[in-house]
Structure 1
């Protein structure tokens, strides 16, 4: 380990010697911890990081004045759509996706390094329970979707297959995530196929370019954004691991989307059949000012333009069909070939420009007192995973239905959007629709039929509680055998050990043992 003198000299070269100002007050243990944190920071890189953070923060916010003239929607031939495609086309995409999964050529990669500050929890978001009847966490839902898509692909192709799960964590989330998976027996996945790795951390910086001390013995560090993926892939030889496993296609997604379809066969198949090296799932923007990035072209190059960079006038522009001209909302759900990721990590990563995130960063003042600021006081520099779109030779976008595939968890209740409440409602509304499409009917407490889903789809609480395990159905398939022609009262909880065909008892009544875990009865009858 570097000595105090060596570290002090390096910090002086970086203009950050203040990070050792409480050195004389520290005990041997905290001194060693601080040196261990500071030693890897290269002086030139640290100086440049702090300079760039302060300079970027000083730039005026808002849209670039010439952006509108450089902006264009993606060409139609580069966009596929679930909602606007015929059933045969969708079947072809799915079939190709399942074929690639069955050949063990598909992996999923989870971006899970964030701290969940807005959600207000001190543990990784994937461990969060939004209040589903089953009590399942985001991690469990995602693990079960992997198991189900493996099963579906294997059944179609008559083989056994594996979808490896790579999980990018950070200093904050690696330990708790690893422990959580061990406690839950990796949700019955093979631990050898769950690969966790850590992204880099960067110091938070004051507006005048000084790294922030969080405590007397600790620098305020933050993950380098989901675009830190590319350095992390190289740091931990993840692409080499993929190559050993025969993985050719990687589905990258963000932890907080409760509706995410891991290794989605339709998305994988669409991208493969189009010969894409890079792809993005998008949803149609709900309204012009919706705060989501837009997948489009700038100077003919694909990229995501943040909503804050687009003027209100440009955001409100309409296409010839009456829809928004820039309507492809980014949902952090991407396809990459392994070859493309190898090219990015070897050649293009240094070209990515960090983005400024102004945050409230706790710090110690000159007297060593801990201060929790009431307004933003620091800068965290982040790279974005989608900033590599510009390097793609064949970029495509894949439009999916928001109500089926996108409901993020970002804010604490009682926020009106992107909260535990809205995420729970989205999943239960989806499962209610699936049950009705499979031929189930629901009755209220008086025995009257509850309504079919309206058009547009349900918002808020569905008429009845219905939760269907991913182990039973990945995207609504195969439910007829359990639900067709049956009538239920809320709640209906259909999990793997309960998903068995109805049987008739001695009295001729149809029943499902254990279907309703909240009921005090050991056996609950279908109301047919």
Structure 2
């Protein structure tokens, strides 16, 4: 089998002829696979991406060898000199807004949802590698009594929110389309998972999966790495690859066809995420925002989280590693204990469709690539496949979803309580951001909901959740954000507590609303939700 001269010339022009280095060793099937991989590569895009970061990469590599911190400190000084906190008139907070304001925001958001103007867009290209699993992170079960996955919890929150909007606006038109951006590693399994579980009760047409693009992994000199002698090493182009995919996968056209005006974008791993949060949507509408972000206050000044701030006349996320410690500790004023840079980014954003169209058509190519230095399984210089490299041997190029903030003309920030809305699932073990911490945070939230609804609980109920195997879970089908729990008022409950909406009443309690099943003080029984067995 001969090499197509056109392919050979493309590789020569791109200085990537090493990709054919093992051609004589390959059989015809492997040669076809390699050629298909090569044909799919946009070498100009790869070259432009590498050229844009190679100076930064060289500086970082030299810094690691020589002074470690020199390059970081130089960058930090520049950022420190020009970054400013978000102006007060562009920000709002759940802690500072009045009850009337929050009620008004919520009503505006529900109205938009009832009109079918709001969709949610899930960033779900991650494989769950840090969790120690080989399937999409959204399929992960954090160990709740119900055994629900992240995907199912989110699906049921959508169902509940549609019901709330229909009831409060006296309509049947509330419909929230769920766009899910996958990657080549997660697309097939995600699609199969939803189909297997009957889309968790959602309308099939209201779930739209689309795949983000990939870029080849490179060595430090810009050469594409081989995963096998006949296969290029590739990786998804980061959650900021969203904007290219929105355009090339015709997602923006689909949104327009569905008369969607407002898009809520979020990451898959936040167990407390409030999809299409009507309060957030309403706040953004009142601010006439074309782009907005939910934030939480940092737990400590040096918390490893990016902060949203003003840089020059634009807004952006500045990573914690880019600023000096003294800047991280800076106070809002000499008479205030509040940090000046306290708007912690949690990958939870609002966009108008018009803003996304403008970004995708005019600015997508302006978004810079970020360098992620990795230990990449690949063929080494001796032609041997190394599954677990001992040292960092290459880079993956990524764009970030928040890199479009500078293009906003009317930016806004909405601060929420961390304990109510942010508990990420990142790690398979340890003491932070694990399944155990997510499970605990969700259960403590449900305890707060029950207390606020007037339930009588043991005085040490929080300690029981934190230190024992006792559990408390309320199905999203019953309550989206603590509402609809009037049936617990004045009643005594001991752990474990489990409320589920079910088609098959396993344990009937006469004064509970129809179709609510409860287990109280006994181990939860098997439930059926939307005809899906857990």
TM-score by length of 2: 0.90
Deviation per residue, 1:385-408 (Å, 9 max, x gap): 111110111000000000000001
1:380 aligns with 2:396: yes
Deviation per residue, 1:145-171 (Å, 9 max, x gap): 110110000101111211000000111
Q: How does 1:31-46 map to 2 (within 5 A)?
A: 31-46=31-46
Per-residue deviation, 1:4: 3.7
Q: Provide the C-alpha distance between the structure 1 equivalents of 2:261 and 2:143, rounded to a whole number of angstroms.
A: 37
Count of aligned residue pairs for this structure pair: 505
Given the alignment, which residue of 421, 426, 430 partners 1:405?
421
Per-residue deviation, 1:8: 2.2
Q: What RMSD, in angstroms, separates the aligned Cα atoms of the two structures?
A: 2.3
Match of 1:450 in 2: 459
Given the alignment, which residue of 479, 503, 522 partners 2:510?
503
Q: Provide the C-alpha distance between the structure 2 equivalents of 1:28 and 1:107, rounded to a whole number of angstroms.
A: 46
Q: Provide the C-alpha distance between the structure 1 equivalents of 2:119 and 2:11, rounded to a whole number of angstroms.
A: 41
Given the alignment, which residue of 397, 407, 412 partners 1:396?
412
Match of 1:79 in 2: 91
Deviation per residue, 1:454-490 (Å, 9 max, x gap): 9xxx994589521001000000111122x11112221
Per-residue deviation, 1:55: 3.2
Alignment check: 8 A CA contact 2:306 2:345 kept: yes
Q: Secondary structure at the match of 1:487?
A: coil
Stretches of structure 2 lacking an aligned partner (at least 5 in a row): 61-70, 528-534
Alignment check: 8 A CA contact 1:105 1:246 kept: yes
Q: Measured at CA, do residues 521 and 158 of structure 1 come closer, stay the same or move farther in structure 2, by a change above 3 Å?
A: closer
Match of 1:182 in 2: 195
Match of 1:437 in 2: 452
Given the alignment, which residue of 462, 469, 475 partners 1:469?
475
Q: Provide the C-alpha distance between the structure 2 equivalents of 1:26 and 1:203, rounded to a whole number of angstroms.
A: 21
Match of 1:62 in 2: 72
Q: Provide the C-alpha distance between the structure 2 equivalents of 1:53 and 1:314, rounded to a whole number of angstroms.
A: 26
1:489 aligns with 2:494: yes
Deviation per residue, 1:45-75 (Å, 9 max, x gap): 3333344444332223524122111010000
Match of 1:141 in 2: 153
Q: Secondary structure at the match of 1:205?
A: coil
1:5 aligns with 2:5: yes
Given the alignment, which residue of 324, 330, 335 partners 1:311?
324
Match of 2:182 in 1: 169
Q: Secondary structure at the match of 1:39?
A: helix
1:90 aligns with 2:102: yes
Q: Measured at CA, do residues 461 and 248 of structure 1 come closer, stay the same or move farther in structure 2, by a change above 3 Å?
A: farther
Deviation per residue, 1:403-445 (Å, 9 max, x gap): 00000111111x1111111111111111111112212233xxx
Match of 1:130 in 2: 142
Stretches of structure 1 lacking an aligned partner (at least 5 in a row): 443-448, 506-511, 524-528
Per-residue deviation, 1:378: 1.1
Q: Measured at CA, do residues 158 and 50 of structure 1 come closer, stay the same or move farther in structure 2, by a change above 3 Å?
A: same
Alignment check: 8 A CA contact 2:92 2:413 kept: yes
Q: Provide the C-alpha distance between the structure 2 equivalents of 1:111 and 1:43, rounded to a whole number of angstroms.
A: 26
